[in-house]
Chains A and B, each alone.
Chain A
Amino acid sequence: MTDQTKAALPITVRNITKTYGRVFALNDVSLDIRSGEFLTLLGPSGSGKTTLLMVLAGFTRPDRGSLTFGDREVIRTAPHLRDVGMVFQNYALFPHMTVAGNVGYPLRLRGVAKAEAGRRIERALETVQLGGYGNRRIDQLSGGQKQRVALARSIVFEPRILLMDEPLSALDKKLRDRMQIELRHLHEKLGMTTVYVTHDQREALTMSDRIAVVNHGRIMQLANPRDLYNQPANRFVADFIGDSAFLPVQREGSTVSFAGQPLTLAHPIPDAASLLLMIRPERLRLARDITEGMNTFQATVTEVVYQGDSFLLYARTGDGSELAMRGAIRGGTVSGLPATGDRITLGLDPADTVLIDGEEVRR
Chain B
Amino acid sequence: MTADLNAAGLRRDEAAERLALFGLASPALLLVLIVMVLPVGWLFYVSFVGADGGFSMENYARMVREKSYGRIFLQTFNVSLLTTGLCILIGYPLAYFISGLPTRIANLCLITVLLPFWTSLLVRTYAWLVLLQKQGLVNTWAISLGLWDEPIKMVHNLTGTLIGMVHIMLPFLILPVYGAMRAIDRDYLKAAANLGASPTRAFWTVFVPLSAPGLFAGALMVFILCLGFFVTPAVLGGGRVILVSMKIVSNIELFVNWGAASALGVVLLALTFLILWVASKFVRLEQLTGGGH
- Name the CB-closest residue of B to A73: B1
Residue B5, interface by CB 8 Å: yes
Q: Take A14-B1, A66-B1 as given contacts and tell me if A75 and B6 are in contact as well, using a CB distance cutoff of 8 Å.
A: yes
Instruction: Determine if A61 and B14 form an interchain contact, defined as CB atoms under 8 angstroms apart.
Output: yes
A contact residues around B10 at 8 Å (CB): 61-64, 75-76
Q: Take A14-B1, A66-B1 as given contacts and tell me if A76 and B7 are in contact as well, using a CB distance cutoff of 8 Å.
A: no
Residue B116, interface by CB 8 Å: no
How long is the Cα–Cα vector from A110 to B234 in the complex, in angstroms?
65
Instruction: Determine if A66 and B13 form an interchain contact, defined as CB atoms under 8 angstroms apart.
Output: no
Residue B4, interface by CB 8 Å: yes
Distance in Å: Cβ of A241 to nearest Cβ of chain B: 31
Specify the main secondary structure of chain B where it touches its partner: helix
Instruction: Determine if B5 and A65 form an interchain contact, defined as CB atoms under 8 angstroms apart.
Output: yes
Instruction: Determine if B13 and A76 form an interchain contact, defined as CB atoms under 8 angstroms apart.
Output: yes
Instruction: Determine if B13 and A65 form an interchain contact, defined as CB atoms under 8 angstroms apart.
Output: no
A contact residues around B6 at 8 Å (CB): 64-66, 75-76
Residue A333, interface by CB 8 Å: no
Residue A15, interface by CB 8 Å: yes
Instruction: Determine if B4 and A64 form an interchain contact, defined as CB atoms under 8 angstroms apart.
Output: yes
Instruction: Determine if B14 and A66 form an interchain contact, defined as CB atoms under 8 angstroms apart.
Output: no
Residue B9, interface by CB 8 Å: yes
How long is the Cα–Cα vector from A84 to B247 in the complex, in angstroms?
67
B contact residues around A61 at 8 Å (CB): 10, 13-14
How many A residues face the partner with a CB closer than 8 A? Answer: 11
Bitwise interface map of A from 78 to 118 toward B, beta carbon under 8 Å scored 1, else 0: 00000000000000000000000000000000000000000
How long is the Cα–Cα vector from A73 to B10 in the complex, in angstroms?
13
- Name the CB-closest residue of A to B10: A61
Q: Take A64-B4, A66-B1 as given contacts and tell me if A76 and B14 are in contact as well, using a CB distance cutoff of 8 Å.
A: no
How long is the Cα–Cα vector from A315 to B4 in the complex, in angstroms?
55
B contact residues around A73 at 8 Å (CB): 1
Contact residues of B between 6 and 26, Cβ < 8 Å to A: 6-7, 9-10, 13-14
B contact residues around A14 at 8 Å (CB): 1, 5
Distance in Å: Cβ of B90 to nearest Cβ of chain A: 40
Instruction: Determine if B5 and A64 form an interchain contact, defined as CB atoms under 8 angstroms apart.
Output: yes
Distance in Å: Cβ of B55 to nearest Cβ of chain A: 46
How long is the Cα–Cα vector from A63 to B1 in the complex, in angstroms?
14
- Name the CB-closest residue of A to B17: A61
B contact residues around A76 at 8 Å (CB): 6, 9-10, 13
- Name the CB-closest residue of B to A14: B1
A contact residues around B13 at 8 Å (CB): 61, 76
How long is the Cα–Cα vector from A62 to B11 in the complex, in angstroms?
9
How long is the Cα–Cα vector from A64 to B1 in the complex, in angstroms?
11
Distance in Å: Cβ of B1 to nearest Cβ of chain A: 4
Distance in Å: Cβ of B207 to nearest Cβ of chain A: 31
Question: Which of B5, B7, B13 has the largest count of A CB atoms less than 10 A from its CB?
Answer: B5
Distance in Å: Cβ of B10 to nearest Cβ of chain A: 6
Bitwise interface map of A from 24 to 39 toward B, beta carbon under 8 Å scored 1, else 0: 0000000000000000
Distance in Å: Cβ of A173 to nearest Cβ of chain B: 24
How long is the Cα–Cα vector from A245 to B249 in the complex, in angstroms?
81
- Name the CB-closest residue of B to A67: B6
Distance in Å: Cβ of A64 to nearest Cβ of chain B: 4
- Name the CB-closest residue of A to B11: A63
Distance in Å: Cβ of A349 to nearest Cβ of chain B: 46
Distance in Å: Cβ of B273 to nearest Cβ of chain A: 29
How long is the Cα–Cα vector from A62 to B7 in the complex, in angstroms?
8
How long is the Cα–Cα vector from A85 to B155 in the complex, in angstroms?
70
- Name the CB-closest residue of B to A68: B1
A contact residues around B5 at 8 Å (CB): 14-15, 64-66
How long is the Cα–Cα vector from A62 to B9 in the complex, in angstroms?
11
Contact residues of A between 44 and 69, Cβ < 8 Å to B: 61-66
Contact residues of B between 32 and 75, Cβ < 8 Å to A: none
A14-B1, A66-B5, A76-B9 known, 18 other contacts, Cβ within 8 Å:
A14-B5, A15-B5, A61-B10, A61-B14, A63-B7, A63-B10, A64-B5, A64-B6, A64-B7, A64-B10, A65-B5, A66-B1, A66-B6, A75-B6, A75-B9, A75-B10, A76-B6, A76-B10
Interchain residue pairs with CB less than 8 A apart (26): A14-B1, A14-B5, A15-B5, A61-B10, A61-B13, A61-B14, A62-B10, A63-B7, A63-B10, A64-B4, A64-B5, A64-B6, A64-B7, A64-B10, A65-B5, A66-B1, A66-B5, A66-B6, A73-B1, A75-B6, A75-B9, A75-B10, A76-B6, A76-B9, A76-B10, A76-B13
Chain A residues at the B interface, C-beta cutoff of 8 Å: 14-15, 61-66, 73, 75-76
Chain B residues at the A interface, C-beta cutoff of 8 Å: 1, 4-7, 9-10, 13-14
Kindly list the 9 A-B residue pairs having the minimum CB-CB distance in the complex, ordered from nearest: A64-B7, A64-B5, A66-B1, A75-B6, A15-B5, A65-B5, A76-B9, A76-B13, A61-B10
